[in-house]
């Protein structure tokens, strides 16, 4: 006799396989697809999404989930977690009317299209109605999903299950003042560090070689992954055992491929680390965007921008680029990769200013969703916040409120996960150090195995079996806390800038 759990697994695997196929179609679209393939590709992805949606909202699943919950009541087991995750996804999927989903998809598609043109022409007026429509539809989605405290909560919950706007506000409030002060203090000494050495000529072949060497060194498994070149880098996967990263090579900006690759490798190692028992199930893979980002930022910044790492790696980098770096000491290089510059653009931001970019977006999203400001007022509010927090004022909306693609596609509630990741990365590393000892000597010796093993056993292996909050409580032994991150910044950049 087939148990309800077996039925659930069969159904889950089918939906999962459709989703993985769609992700491969997406990967190919960004990497190798010839221009001519674009129209058909959109249709193919839409077909897979439609069928997956039909299957994951099949009314018969409700009874299967109820029976499976009786068969596997303990949510800490693989099977129990599968039931929990599946129940949540099912309830969410059936709660949202197909019409609203279709409207959101349409608004996202039209919005992205309008955004590309509006940004190129610095024409906020033409983008405004699309932004307004996306905000309105996300309000409808939030009302549909329901909430107790803030209309922001159900939107954030889409990306960071169980997290609330109040948590994020508390987190930012505990460091906002210190962060603004630190940025201001560094800005006064902005000439103390130059990153000119990173802007020399770096040929693509060398960048490819070094990026792959570095990502393999920290533990990204190329037998279960690969790296390709794209315009906008990302990590994607089609199995625990096929997790791919992408990067871009800029001739006169070494950091792009180097730290971009370590960032995506961090995401990828998290995905590669799920227990093989979870393969093909929705419990495989990272548990939330925030926890995911904690791993990309940990490997990019806490490892890659750490002085000890370069004791290990700088010789290799220097020998790869003897012309550009032959006369540059490891200390000069280390300072360059950590230069802080309050700027207009989030994606170019350093470790110190990054979270202020996120804070601005988070505050803007709350104002818009709560109806406290209109889309007419939004550009001015945006610019005022940039002046207040970062001391810079956007000269136009293209590099101001229109710089990110997210809102054009209806992603509201997404940005905070970047900051959650940053904060968690430091808390997690501190906990690891408490268990395995000082990691700097290990990094200096090119030995990343102890750290990776610790992350693997504490976080990666669990996939998304646990809710992010529960997993973090297990790992950290307490709640998320922004102070360790602020302390880390103060110490590291205080030393670099002699504050």
8 A C-beta contact, residue 281 and residue 13: yes
Q: Which residue has the tokens 């949540």?
A: 88
User: Minimum distance from CB of 105 to a copy of itself (Å)?
Assistant: 17
223 is an interface residue for a copy of itself by CB under 8 A? yes
Which is nearest to 127 in space by CA: 109, 106, 113? 113
* Strand-pair partners of 227: 245
Which is nearest to 355 in space by CA: 401, 422, 301, 406? 422
229 is an interface residue for a copy of itself by CB under 8 A? no
231 is an interface residue for a copy of itself by CB under 8 A? no
53 is an interface residue for a copy of itself by CB under 8 A? no
2 is an interface residue for a copy of itself by CB under 8 A? no
Please identify, among the stretches 76-84, 171-179, 221-229, 374-382, the one whose residues bind a copy of itself according to the rule CB under 8 A: 221-229
The three-state secondary structure class of 211 is helix
User: Minimum distance from CB of 116 to a copy of itself (Å)?
Assistant: 21
How far apart CA 318 and CA 351 sit, in angstroms, is 24
Structure tokens belonging to residue 118: 């509006």
Of 68 and 245, nearer to a copy of itself (C-beta) is: 245
Among 51, 67, 96, 444, binds a copy of itself (CB under 8 A): 51
32 is an interface residue for a copy of itself by CB under 8 A? yes
Judged on CB neighbours under 10 Å (0-12, 13-18, 19+), 316 is: middle
The three-state secondary structure class of 220 is coil
- Helix extents (H) in 286-345: 289-297, 307-320, 322-325, 330-336
Of 26 and 450, nearer to a copy of itself (C-beta) is: 26
8 A C-beta contact, residue 320 and residue 206: yes
- Helix extents (H) in 341-458: 351-370, 378-390, 416-436, 440-444, 449-458
Of 226 and 406, nearer to a copy of itself (C-beta) is: 226
- Distances from the Cα of 273 to the Cαs of 236, 441, 459, 467, in angstroms? 14, 24, 9, 17
Please identify, among the stretches 22-30, 78-86, 114-122, 356-364, the one whose residues bind a copy of itself according to the rule CB under 8 A: 22-30
Give the DSSP letter of residue 464. Answer: T
The three-state secondary structure class of 244 is strand
Among 57, 239, 275, 403, binds a copy of itself (CB under 8 A): 239
41 is an interface residue for a copy of itself by CB under 8 A? yes
Residue 136 annotated in active site: no
123 is an interface residue for a copy of itself by CB under 8 A? no
Sort residue 446 into left (φ over 0), alpha (ψ -120 to 50) or beta.
left
Among 71, 123, 158, 228, binds a copy of itself (CB under 8 A): 228
Please identify, among the stretches 37-45, 99-107, 394-402, 485-493, the one whose residues bind a copy of itself according to the rule CB under 8 A: 37-45
Q: Which of 264, 271, 293, 365 is catalytic?
A: 264
How far apart CA 283 and CA 266 sit, in angstroms, is 19
Which is nearest to 121 in space by CA: 334, 402, 367? 402
Positions in 266-325 near a copy of itself (CB under 8 A): 279-280
43 is an interface residue for a copy of itself by CB under 8 A? yes
User: Minimum distance from CB of 241 to a copy of itself (Å)?
Assistant: 3
148 is an interface residue for a copy of itself by CB under 8 A? no
Among 17, 208, 318, 396, binds a copy of itself (CB under 8 A): 17
Among 28, 122, 196, 201, binds a copy of itself (CB under 8 A): 28
Site size for a copy of itself (CB under 8 A):
41
User: Minimum distance from CB of 97 to a copy of itself (Å)?
Assistant: 21
40 is an interface residue for a copy of itself by CB under 8 A? yes
Q: Which residues bind a copy of itself (CB under 8 A)?
A: 13-14, 17-18, 20-22, 24-25, 28, 32-37, 39-41, 43-44, 46-48, 50-51, 221-226, 228, 238-242, 244, 279-280
Active site residues: 264
């Amino acid at each position: 006799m087939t148990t309800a759990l077996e039925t659930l697994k069969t159904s889950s695997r089918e939906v999962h396989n459709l989703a993985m196929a769609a992700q491969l179609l997406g990967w190919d679209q960004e990497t190798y697809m010839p221009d001519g393939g674009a129209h058909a590709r959109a249709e193919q992805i839409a077909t897979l999404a439609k069928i997956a949606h039909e299957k994951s909202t099949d009314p018969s699943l409700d009874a299967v989930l109820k029976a499976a919950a009786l068969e596997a009541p303990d949510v800490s087991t693989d099977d129990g977690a599968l039931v929990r995750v599946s129940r949540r996804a099912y309830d969410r999927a059936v709660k949202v009317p197909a019409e609203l989903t279709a409207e959101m998809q349409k608004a996202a598609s039209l919005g992205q299209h309008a955004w590309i043109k509006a940004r190129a022409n610095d024409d906020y007026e033409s983008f405004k109605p699309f932004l307004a429509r996306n905000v309105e539809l996300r309000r409808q989605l939030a009302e549909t999903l329901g909430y107790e405290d803030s209309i922001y909560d159900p939107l954030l919950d889409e990306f960071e299950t169980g997290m609330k706007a109040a948590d994020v506000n508390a987190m930012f409030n505990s460091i906002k003042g210190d962060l603004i002060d630190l940025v201001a203090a560094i800005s006064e000494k902005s000439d103390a560090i130059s990153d000119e050495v990173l802007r020399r000529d770096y040929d693509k072949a060398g960048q490819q070689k070094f990026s792959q060497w570095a990502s393999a060194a920290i533990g990204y498994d190329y037998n279960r992954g690969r790296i390709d070149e794209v315009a906008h880098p990302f990590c994607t996967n089609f199995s625990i055992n096929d997790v791919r990263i992408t990067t871009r090579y800029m001739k006169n900006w070494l950091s792009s491929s180097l730290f971009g690759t370590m960032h995506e490798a961090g995401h990828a190692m998290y995905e590669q680390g799920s227990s093989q028992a979870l393969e093909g199930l929705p419990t495989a893979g990272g548990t939330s965007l925030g926890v995911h980002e904690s791993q990309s930022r940990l490997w990019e910044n806490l490892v890659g921008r750490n002085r000890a790492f370069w004791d290990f790696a700088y010789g290799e980098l220097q020998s790869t680029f003897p012309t550009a770096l032959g006369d540059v000491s490891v200390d000069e290089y280390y300072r360059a990769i950590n230069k802080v510059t309050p700027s207009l653009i989030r994606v170019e931001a350093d470790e110190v200013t990054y979270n202020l970019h996120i804070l601005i977006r988070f505050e803007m999203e709350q104002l818009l969703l709560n109806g406290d400001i209109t889309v007419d007022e939004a550009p001015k509010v945006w610019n005022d916040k940039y002046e207040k927090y970062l001391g810079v004022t956007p000269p136009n909306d293209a590099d101001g409120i229109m710089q990110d693609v997210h809102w054009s596609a209806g992603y509201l509630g997404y940005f905070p996960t970047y900051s959650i990741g940053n904060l968690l990365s430091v808390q997690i590393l501190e906990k690891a150090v408490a268990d395995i000892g000082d990691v700097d000597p290990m990094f200096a010796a090119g030995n990343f195995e102890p750290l990776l093993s610790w992350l693997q056993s504490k976080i990666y292996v669990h996939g998304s079996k646990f809710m992010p909050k529960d997993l973090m409580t297990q790992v950290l032994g307490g709640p998320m806390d922004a102070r360790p991150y602020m302390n880390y910044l103060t110490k590291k950049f205080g030393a670099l800038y002699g504050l």
